Amino acid sequence: MFRFENPDILYGLLIVPLLILIFVLLRLQRKKILSKFASKQMLTSLVVDYSPNKPYIKFIFSLLVISSLIVALANPQFGTKVEKVKRAGIEIMFALDISNSMLSNDIQPNRLDRAKSLLTKLIDGLTGDKVGIVIFAGDAFLQMPLTTDYSASKLLLSTISPELIAQQGTAIGAALDMSINSFSKDKDVSKVVLLISDGENHEDDAIDIAQEAKDKNIAVYTIGMGTPNGGPIPIGSGNFLKDENGEVVITKLSSSLLSEIAELTKGRFIFGDAKFSEIESFISDVAKMNKKEMEDVIYTEYDSKFYYFLWLAFALIIIEIFIFEKKSPLFSKLKLFED
């Protein structure tokens, strides 16, 4: 596994084409100035030992030195040790509604972005627990199986959008069913579903699936995204979704179903526009649950290789020092760096 410890430093490589441009402009300006005094043949005869190619060679070496130093500062690393570690935790499935109604901005910046922000903060507060992600609209899909790789979880969350599911709707029952079936078969591990939706279920009987979760001792916590007054559903270019009568559709938070699911499974219902301190109550509840020691495989060590590029830069500097702009008798015999 390869990575750069400081990848942002690689943007410094953008200076290379800029330096090339400046060098070319300066050489053209120099050539123009010299042409006013003498022809190329006359200049060659006046400056016998001058090598016109050496400045280009020295410049190329300078660029290689700069590039090597930038790569060294970015610190290329290789994962050299894969280790099985044991962690105490529970299993949590995030079931995220990505239907078009989640784009309503009655919660700023909109329901979906607010939901993703909440989940990211929740992940930052977890330690040792496995998390998975189910996305749903008119159907439900397992987007990420259970893992303790929190960085990958947050990266995936940032890419989620309604375009991932073509079939629109809000199939809360399907999302619960997919979440339940995505847990491990270990009966000793505590399991929790965190369902985030505006609650407008149009597809199935979610209560029946919630009863199945209760029978399996799976608590379902629900976060309601939206407000009672609701808001329109944007469909691009400043337009909003309209019904068959041409009226703008207003989507509102339907908290009754989400509250019923949470109460039935001994979970908790939370308003999505509440302060994050209230959302943290979920983390507190997780911390009190019975945690079982679980085994996972993660990369634990990275070996830095920056020094290879430092040595390369040092070697290039030494070579560049010994490349003189005047002709070398040795190089002349070998036909190196000369016209």
**How confident is the model over 255-310, as pLDDT tens digits?**
999 999 999 999 999 888 776 666 777 777 777 777 777 666 565 567 888 999 99
Tokens 């070579």 label which residue?
319
Residue 49 and residue 65 share a domain: yes
Domain count, the chain: 2
Residue 264 and residue 119 share a domain: yes
Reduced to 3 states (helix: H, G, I; strand: E, B; else coil), residue 66 is: helix
CATH code, domain with 114: 3.40.50.410
pTM: 0.63
Residue 237 and residue 137 share a domain: yes
Residue 282 and residue 208 share a domain: yes
Residue 136 and residue 13 share a domain: no
Query: Residue 309: inside a domain, yes or no?
Result: yes
Taking CB atoms within 8 Å and a gap of at least 24, the contacts of 282-286 are 282/122, 282/194, 282/221, 283/122, 283/125, 283/126, 285/221, 286/90, 286/92, 286/126, 286/129, 286/192
Please choose, from the candidates 158, 177, 190, 189, the residue with its C-alpha nearest in 3D space to the C-alpha of residue 266: 190
Query: Residue 254: inside a domain, yes or no?
Result: yes
Residue 60 and residue 110 share a domain: no
Residue 108 and residue 71 share a domain: no
Query: Residue 339: inside a domain, yes or no?
Result: no
Q: What is the pLDDT of residues 39-87, one digit of tens each?
A: 656 655 655 555 667 788 889 999 999 999 999 999 998 876 666 666 7
Residue 250 and residue 228 share a domain: yes
Query: Residue 148: inside a domain, yes or no?
Result: yes
Query: Residue 186: inside a domain, yes or no?
Result: yes
Residue 54 and residue 111 share a domain: no
Q: What is the pLDDT of residues 242-255, one digit of tens each?
A: 888 889 999 999 89
Structural domain of 113: 83-296
Query: Residue 41: inside a domain, yes or no?
Result: yes
Instruction: Specify which residues 242 forms β-bridges with.
Output: 248
Residue 277 and residue 201 share a domain: yes
Mean pLDDT of 136-156: 92
Q: Are the beta carbons of 221 and 265 closer than 8 angstroms? A: no
For helices 276-288 and 111-124, what crossing angle results, to 10°? Answer: 40
Q: What is the pLDDT of residues 217-226, one digit of tens each?
A: 999 999 999 9
Residue 245 and residue 162 share a domain: yes
Please choose, from the candidates 85, 130, 87, 97, the residue with its C-alpha nearest in 3D space to the C-alpha of residue 286: 130
According to the model, what pLDDT value does residue 168 have? 81
Residue 267 and residue 154 share a domain: yes
Query: Residue 327: inside a domain, yes or no?
Result: yes
What Rg do the C-alpha atoms of the chain give, in angstroms?
31
